[in-house]
């Protein structure tokens, strides 16, 4: 099982970036683990999953992302 949180890059603080969530919570993330092109105001999506379910969850996430890109409604098996 995985959880996804939507957020926005709020500010850079020393070696961390502050991500403000949709619930107005602040998460601190190491700048070195971010894509270089991110700037203040960029929208991000954080996903937390267990190691045991990682491979299966990556497949489901990949299908969901492709369906979103292609504007395809997911089938019952893709959920």
What is the residue extent of each domain of the chain? 2-78
The residue that leads in pLDDT, 4 or 16, is 16
Q: Would you say 67 and 74 are in contact if contact means Cβ atoms under 8 Å apart? A: yes
The token duo for 4 is: 């996804």
Domain 2-78, CATH: 2.40.50.140
Would the pLDDT of 63 be above 90?
Answer: no
Residues 10-56 have pLDDT tens digits of 999 889 999 999 999 999 999 999 888 889 999 999 887 777 766 77
In angstroms, the CA 31 to CA 35 distance is: 8
The answer on pLDDT for 76 being more than 70 is no
pLDDT at 35: 87
Place of tokens 């497949």: 59
Higher pLDDT, 29 or 58: 29
DSSP annotation of 35 reads -
Give the global pTM. Answer: 0.62
Three-state DSSP state, 50:
coil
Exposed/middle/buried for 57, CB within 10 Å: 0-12, 13-18, 19+? middle
């Amino acid at each position: 099982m995985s959880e996804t949180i939507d957020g926005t890059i709020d500010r850079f603080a020393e070696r961390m970036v502050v991500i403000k969530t949709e619930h107005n919570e602040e998460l601190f993330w190491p700048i070195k683990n971010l894509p270089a092109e991110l700037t203040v105001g960029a929208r991000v999506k954080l996903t937390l999953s267990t190691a045991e379910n990682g491979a299966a969850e990556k497949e489901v996430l990949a299908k969901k992302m492709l369906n979103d890109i292609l504007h395809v409604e997911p089938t019952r098996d893709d959920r």
